[in-house]
Amino acid sequence: MAIKLVKDNIYSVGVVDFNEKHFHDHTYLTRRGVTYNSYLIVDEKITLIDTVRRGFEKEWIKNIRNVVDPAKIDVIIINHIEPDHSGSFPEILKICHNAKIYGTEKAKLGLIKYYGVCGDWIVVKSGQNLNIGKRILNFIDVPMIHWPDSMFTYSAHDKILFSSDGFGQHYATNKVFDDEVNFFILMDEAQKYYANILWPFNLLIANKLSIINKLNLGIELIAPSHGLIWRKHISEIMKKYHYWSSNSSLNRVAVIYETMWQSTEKMAKKIAEGCNSEGVEAVLFDVTKNDRTDITSYILDAKGWIFGSSTQNREILPIISSLLNFVKVTKSKKRMSFAFGSYGWSGEAIEKIENILCDFAALEPSVRTIFNPTEEELNKCYEVGKYFAMKIKIDEA
Ligand code: FEO
C-alpha cells in the first residue's frame, strides 16, 4: 500500500496483504485479505504507532521513508504486541537508535519474551500523556481487548483514537477510510472480526466503552490496526459494539449440525423448515461445508442456536465439537437453544451438547432419533422447529 494522508501530518504507512486468506495460522478465514496498519505522526517528536507483521518490514520501512527518514523517529508507541503488529519491531529498533518506546508493562515483558529486545522502554498506563509537540497523546489501557498488553492511544488535537485491534476488520484494500468502500461489506467484516476476536471479552468491552463514552472525547476518526479507518460511520460502529457486547440478538436462528449418514441432516432441514414456517429465519450450517468463523459471525447476534450431531464413540462429532468449544468461551447469555441428533446405540452426543449449551441458553428439550428418522419423526422435528420459533417471537415481545 502506498502511504496515505489520514489527517494533517498523520500518515497511514502500514501494509496490505491481499493473499492472506488463513489468518492466525488457519483459525480465521480472511476471504478479503488482511491489512497491518501502522501510523506515523510528524510532529516535533516524530511518532510511530505500531509496527507490522514480520515479512513486510521492507515495504513498511520504505513507506515510512517516503515521509521521513526512519532514523529520525523519536517515539514508537506499541499498542499491542501480537506478532501481526510487533513482528517488525526488532527491525525498526535497528534503525531508530534514539527512539523512546511507549507501552504497557505487559507489552514490554511480552516483547522481551518474543524478540529478546524492547528498546528504551517507558511504561505507561491509563491517564498518562505524552507531549510530542502540537499534540498530547493520551494512553488508555484496554487489557484483554484482546490481550493483556493492549492499549489505545488518543490524540485530542486530531480527535483520533488509535484503537489497536478494537474496531478492526480483515479487509485488504488500498482505500483508507470507511466511506471509500461498500458499507455492508465493511460492517459484515467488522461483525466477523468482533465475533472471532473480541466476543469472549464482551463484559470488558462493554465496561471500557462506557468509560470511553464518559470521557466525551469527541472522536472524529477511529484508526484500528486492521482494515479501514472509521470516519463517516463512527456512530454506527460504536452502536454495534454496544449492541454486540451487551449480548443483544435478533430473532433469527442458526441450525448447526454435523452428520455421518445424513440422518442428522434430515432432522436439521425439518427443524429449519419449522422455524421458517413461523416467519423466523433459520439458516442451516453443515459444519463440514462452512467455515467456523463464518458460522461464529452469524450466531453472534442470532437468538436461537440449535446444535445437532450424530454420536460417534460416545462423543460429539469432531468439527462441531470444536465450534462448541469456541461458543463455550464466549460466555454468551440470553440465547435460546436445543440439541438434536441421530444415533445408533446410546446417543451421548446430545447430552454433551446440552451440557455445553445450558451455561448460556434457555434450553428446550432435545430431539433424537435412532438411525434413519421416520416420516413421523421428521414431522416431529418440523413441529419442534415451529414451536421453538414461536417461543423466540414471544421472547422478543
Ligand atoms: Fe491483530 Fe491481536 O493482533
Of the candidates 357, 339, 337, the residue with the CA atom closest to the CA atom of residue 349:
339
For ligand 1, atom 2, name the residue with the nearest CA: 82
pLDDT at position 138: 96
* CATH no., domain 253-390: 3.40.50.360
pLDDT at position 397: 53
**pLDDT averaged over consecutive 10-residue blocks of the chain (397 residues)?**
90 96 86 97 98 97 97 98 97 95 98 97 96 97 94 97 97 97 98 96 94 90 98 97 95 97 97 98 98 97 97 96 92 90 94 92 91 97 98 81
Q: Which residues are the active-site residues? A: 24, 80, 82, 84, 146, 165, 193, 226
d(CA 387, CA 293): 29
Which atom of ligand 1 is the closest one to the Cα of 147?
Answer: 2
- What is the whole-number distance in angstroms between the Cα of residue 241 and the centre of ligand 1? 17
For ligand 1, atom 3, name the residue with the nearest CA: 82
d(CA 212, CA 201): 16
pLDDT at position 270: 98
Q: What is the radius of gyration, based on Cα positions, of the chain?
A: 24
Cβ neighbourhood burial of 323 (10 Å; 0-12, 13-18, 19+) = buried
Domain parsing of the chain, residue ranges: 4-245, 253-390
d(CA 13, CA 75): 15
- Asked whether 80 lines ligand 1 (CB < 6 A), one says yes
Domain 4-245 has CATH 3.40.50.620: no
- Asked whether 30 lines ligand 1 (CB < 6 A), one says no
- Asked whether 45 lines ligand 1 (CB < 6 A), one says no
pTM recorded for the entire structure: 0.95
- Asked whether 149 lines ligand 1 (CB < 6 A), one says no
What does the DSSP assignment read for 227-295? Answer: SPBBSS-HHHHHHHHHHHHTT--EEEEEEEEE-SSSHHHHHHHHHHHHHHHTT--EEEEETTTS-HHHH
Question: What does the block give as the cell for 320?
Answer: 462441531
Domains 4-245 and 253-390 belong to one CATH topology: no
> What are the distances in angstroms from CA 254 to CA 11, 297, 391?
42, 11, 15
pLDDT at position 1: 66
